Chains A and B, each alone.
Chain A
Amino acid sequence: MSRRVVILGATSAIAEQVARRFAAAGDRLYLLARNGERLEAVARDLGIRGAAAVHHAAAPLDQVERHRALLDAAWDALGGVDILLVAWGTLPDQRRCEADVDETLRQLHVNAGAVIALLTDAANRFAAQGHGTLAAISSVAGDRGRQSNYVYGTAKGALSVFLQGLRNRLHRHGVRVVTIKPGFVDTPMTAAFPKGPLWASPERVGRAIHRALLGGPDVVYVPWFWRWIMLVIRLIPEPVFKRMKL
């Protein structure tokens, strides 16, 4: 049986790799992203790679008032949805956020508020249909606030906690909620960073996310070793942690 999959932020490097796995399995896709030209290229590629159907619609996904119509269209086109993945996101300039609270609030909106709004709407649809997998890409950055990127971390932390509550709520409806926490991934979002051995390719991360969407634990670190790195980071006592340059 081919799956019906909705991906929001489908032009993300990570999301595109996840989508390729579904395409190769002959699944049916509904893709949303804000840049129509890029989305078109991604959709075309996924069709050739084997997706049974690829629908797509371009829209700025942080405009909450448009969510309902966007999801209506996706549900209509696919006749129900088995898997929904929220992948869009931005990496704020931490320094700029420190000096500009409007920027901070904008970033919290794109990475947390708008995502939570979308998930709230989707959750009600999943609860009504009584099955499905709802997932979002959070980040290891949400596991502990650090001076280098705590605005991003705040948004991802809020998202992780939201997903945790949602999981608890939807469990009795037969709906699975998956929290994905990537570590460092070599994508346009992180193009400016020097790369080292902890960095993973979007392909590797996409493969792991695809696997997690099909089954297994509900909270996944990708690659897996981040679970242990973050365990150690969370264990450091606050009086010590606050002195560290992280």
Chain B
Amino acid sequence: MKDAGYCSWGRLCARDQQVRPLRWTPAALEPEGRPLLGRGLGRSYGDVCLNDGGVLLDCAGLDRFLDYDPERGRLRVEAGVSLAAILERVVPDGWFLPVTPGTRFVTVAGAVANDVHGKNHHRAGTFGRHVRALGLLRSDRGALTCSAEDNPDLFRATVGGLGLTGLVTWVELQLKAVPGPAVEVEAVPFASLDEFLALSRESDGRWEYTVAWIDALGRGPRAGRGVFFRGNHVEGEAPAPRAGTRLAVPPGTPGWLLGPAAVRLFNALYHRRQAARRRRRVHYLPFFYPLDGIRHWNRLYGRRGFFQFQCVVPEDAAVAVLGGILERAAAAGQGSFLSVLKVFGDVPSPGLLSFPRPGVTLALDFPNRGERTRALLRGFEDRVREAGGALYPAKDALMSPAAFQAFFPRWRELAALADPAFSSGFWRRVTEVAA
């Protein structure tokens, strides 16, 4: 048994946390006095993947393929298989992930637990919609198969269930057919949030993938400017980026490297580079996973780490609320390395607590400057709540219990279906002081 050292992607760490690496799927789970929690690759930013005072069941070693039908694109894998491993195996056969987040270094069980979304949410909905079935190991009921037909209540609770319903041991996915590894991408600069919304509306019918990067530091007339990316899988070759040339950020990189000047420089460079080139064919790796090329990029924020803030608000409130948040962040000089905008579609999410819902989602990073940053983010939470939106637990470290319970009104249903031996830092934080 190892001690702590398992932190989150935002570099939040837990106290008094034990880690048990799993290499073989356990036959049973014994309650042991300390709460249990499954752990994937720790790509969640806050405490949904932490368990202070408890035990993390590290599933990264449960990484075997169990079944693959290359004719029908059906794949069953153990919980800890990464999306990267899946792509490597299935893309040469003409298959692709039906939904992928912005990093491929996440596990299938992690993707289920947060019911993750991608740039094709307007078409495909969330990851959970493509899960045909999953294996769940419970401390109280043993091994179960869950799907829309078998144990449907537990299936709905486990998708987006934040790891609380037990240990996911395997996942069966329906893959998506693609013509090859290439993606055709178009980059369209825009000058305001209104323009962004218009571009989205116009693009979502013809383009499978849409997302925008915004200049989160732009103020005055430059506020809300950005680049809109839209892409489709296409036939033909695209050279894969060379393996082994990945950059890595060494541990101990000081946080000042990411001061406002560095952020401004980065944003300006990015803006120019992307806007200058319009339609082109690229390999899927740089299109879907631009940051995966830099290992440990989270270290750029220094030892204090950072917060990510991701919200969704209804489309009619988007310009006012998101514009207000961006303006306030820029004014506070707490600019973001990464600012991403996307319009979610109305494909229903299967999970009780899935985050995606119709509206516009915005994700921003904030270096942790202590109370100043916390206060700023509390203010944003209030605005989102007033607008009838929600915050994303996978990215959160600060959400208040009252806000959580307003954003996810079905949380008591999840609580009732949770495994009595499981809990997480996040769950205790947002429910124990329940109203």
Contacts and interface: CB of A to CB of B under 8 A. Distances in A.
A13 B61 contact: yes
Given A48-B65, A49-B89, 10 more contacts: A41-B66, A44-B64, A45-B64, A48-B67, A48-B89, A188-B21, A191-B2, A192-B1, A194-B2, A194-B3
A48 B69 CA distance: 9
Contacts of B1: 191-192
Interface string B55-96: 000000100111110000000000000000000010000000
Please indicate which of the listed interface residues A38, A44, A45 has the most CB atoms of chain B within 10 Å of its own CB: A45
A234 interface: no
A44 B24 contact: no
B277 interface: no
A42 interface: yes
25 contacts: A13-B23, A13-B61, A41-B64, A41-B66, A42-B64, A44-B64, A44-B67, A45-B64, A45-B65, A45-B66, A48-B65, A48-B66, A48-B67, A48-B89, A49-B65, A49-B89, A50-B89, A188-B23, A191-B2, A191-B21, A192-B1, A194-B2, A194-B3, A195-B2, A195-B5
Contact of A44 (B21, B65, B89): B65
A240 B66 CA distance: 53
Contacts of A49: 65, 89
Contacts of B66: 41, 44-45, 48
Nearest to A193: B2
Interface in B1-15: 1-3, 5
Given A38-B24, A188-B23, A48 B2 contact: no
Contacts of A38: 24
Nearest to A47: B65
Closest 10 CB pairs of A and B: A45-B64, A48-B65, A48-B68, A45-B65, A41-B64, A188-B23, A38-B24, A13-B23, A49-B65, A191-B21
A114 B74 CA distance: 43
Interface residues of A, number: 14
B371 to A, nearest CB: 34
Contacts of B61: 13
A192 B66 CA distance: 29
Please indicate which of the listed interface residues B24, B64, B67 has the most CB atoms of chain A within 10 Å of its own CB: B64
Nearest to A43: B64
A185 to B, nearest CB: 13
A28 B66 CA distance: 19
Nearest to A42: B64
Nearest to B20: A191
Interface in B235-263: none
Interface in B363-395: none
Nearest to A13: B23
A41 B21 CA distance: 18
Interface string B139-155: 00000000000000000
Contacts of A41: 24, 64, 66
Nearest to A45: B64
A21 B46 CA distance: 35
Interface in A85-111: none
A192 B18 CA distance: 12
A199 to B, nearest CB: 11
A150 B61 CA distance: 29
Nearest to A41: B64
A223 to B, nearest CB: 15
B377 to A, nearest CB: 33
Nearest to B64: A45
B87 to A, nearest CB: 13
A45 B23 CA distance: 14
A48 B64 CA distance: 9
Interface string A176-219: 00000000000010011011000000000000000000000000
Contacts of A194: 2-3
A38 B89 CA distance: 22
Contacts of B64: 41-42, 44-45
A48 B5 CA distance: 33
Please indicate which of the listed interface residues A42, A191, A192 has the most CB atoms of chain B within 10 Å of its own CB: A191
A10 to B, nearest CB: 13
Interface string A30-46: 00000000100110110
A178 to B, nearest CB: 23
A195 to B, nearest CB: 7
Nearest to A44: B66
Nearest to B60: A201
A42 B2 CA distance: 25
A45 B75 CA distance: 12
Interface in A1-38: 13, 38
A192 B19 CA distance: 11
A11 to B, nearest CB: 9
Interface string B205-219: 000000000000000
A50 B88 CA distance: 11
A21 to B, nearest CB: 13
A42 B66 CA distance: 9
Contacts of A13: 23, 61
A189 B252 CA distance: 30
Contacts of A188: 21, 23
Contacts of B2: 191, 194-195
Contacts of B3: 194
A17 B24 CA distance: 15
B108 to A, nearest CB: 14
A195 B2 CA distance: 8
B335 to A, nearest CB: 33
Contacts of A45: 64-66
A50 B61 CA distance: 20
Nearest to B81: A45
Nearest to A186: B21
A188 B2 CA distance: 11
Contacts of A48: 65-68, 89
A189 B400 CA distance: 42
